[in-house]
Structure formats: structure tokens, C-alpha cells
Amino acid sequence: MREELDTSDMEYADFAVRYQPTLMAVAWNICGGNATARDDLVQDVLLRALLKWDTLSDWTEPERRAWLVRVMHNRFLDQCRRQRTEATHVVNLGNVHKLLEEPEAPDPELWECVTEAELLQAVMSLPFNLRRTFELHSEGLRHAEIGRRLGAPVGTVGTWLYHARLKLRDQLRDTAETRRKLGSG
């Protein structure tokens, strides 16, 4: 059993070493020269190949090569879709009301009563990790990239972003409600 495992491991290692340059070249072309995205994509494809090695090891070389390219293409499209989805969730003055999207949240027009300066001041008053997470997310970065930059797990980034939004909501709600009452009175 141990010898069989070592042989399979060696076959995968040889396979990965042989195809990594090809995968890097293909990834470089589809990632538009973004080295980080290229490396992440190749790593993801090779990991998927490792996880599926029991099946792939029985395939011919052309079948393996076709599978690698197809997986790379699909993973790249998945990343593009995810980035596009996350980019639509960027919070700015025009959609600050999204901070409050929960059942008991006030109407979105309430947040039209908050100035950009007040929003920036509230963001600056957040603790460092919450502020930096909120700023990076507002720039359109994904949780994984924010985690890499801040040295934190993705789950922690999500928690920091959640708490940043709660604190901003709490800080800005009174100002917005007061200004709306003054404007309508």
C-alpha cells in the first residue's frame, strides 16, 4: 500500500511539474498579465487535479490536458462572475443605505440625509481593522484579498466588515433622522 501511494504521488508530481509552465502561459493570457491572479488560478487548477488524481491518472495525456484547460477556463469565469457580483456591492455615498439592509432598517431615503463628509468622518472613527476592512471592501476587493492584505482569515474579514457596518449605522442613524425631520418640518 505504501509503495502504491508513493507511486501515485510521484506520478502526480511529475504531471504537475510537466504541465505547470503550460498552465502559467495560458493563465497569463486570460488574466491579462495579473501575476497574482495567474498564480492563484494555476494553483487552484493543480489542486483540483490533485483532488481528482484517482480519475485523471487513468486518462490519456490529451484528455488530461483538455481537462486542465477546461477547468482553468471555468475557474477563471467563476472568478470574473464573483468579482462582478462583489463590485455591485461596493458601498459609496450613492448606496450607503445598503449598510442597513435588514428587516427593521429605516427607508433608504433616510441615508440620503448623510453627507459624504459625515460618512468619511464616521469611517475614520472606526477601529483600525474595521476601518481598513471597510475601506478595502469599498474599493471593490474580495474578502480573500482583504484577508491577504491584513493577514486575517476570510471569516474574520467578514466579521470585521459586519461590525464596521453596524458601527457606521449606529453612528450615522441619529444624524440622518435629525436632518430628515428638520428638512420635512
Amino acid, single-letter form, for residue 153: P
Residue 141 per-residue DSSP state: -
Query: Do residues 41 and 75 touch, judged by C-beta distance below 8 A?
Result: yes
Full domain range(s) for residue 119? 93-184
Q: Return phi, psi of residue 101, to 5°.
A: -70, 90
Determine what percent of the chain is predicted with pLDDT higher than 70: 80
pLDDT reported for residue 2: 47
Tell me how many domains the chain contains: 2
pTM of the complete model beyond 0.75: no
Determine what percent of the chain is predicted with pLDDT higher than 90: 9
**Average pLDDT rounded to a whole number, residues 67-83:** 84
- 82 and 118 fall within a common domain: no
The pLDDT tens digits of the residues spanning 171-182 come to 888 888 887 777
pLDDT reported for residue 117: 83
Which residues lie below 8 Å from residue 181, measured CB to CB, with a gap of 6+? none
Q: Is the pLDDT of residue 86 over 70?
A: no
Tell which of 29, 52, 87 closes a domain.
87
pLDDT reported for residue 165: 85
**How many Å apart are CA 133 and CA 29, to the nearest integer?**
31
Amino acid, single-letter form, for residue 124: M
- 106 and 140 fall within a common domain: yes
The pLDDT tens digits of the residues spanning 3-56 come to 555 677 788 888 889 888 888 888 888 887 788 888 888 898 898 888 888 888
Cell (9 digits) for 74: 471555468
Q: How confident is the model at residue 88 (pLDDT cuts 50, 70, 90)?
A: low
Q: Determine the 3-state secondary structure of 61 from DSSP.
A: helix
Cell (9 digits) for 116: 459624504
Query: Do residues 111 and 100 touch, judged by C-beta distance below 8 A?
Result: yes
Q: Is the pLDDT of residue 121 over 80?
A: yes
pLDDT reported for residue 1: 45
Tell which of 87, 110, 144 closes a domain.
87
* Mean pLDDT rounded to a whole number for the chain: 80
Q: Return phi, psi of residue 91, to 5°.
A: -100, 125
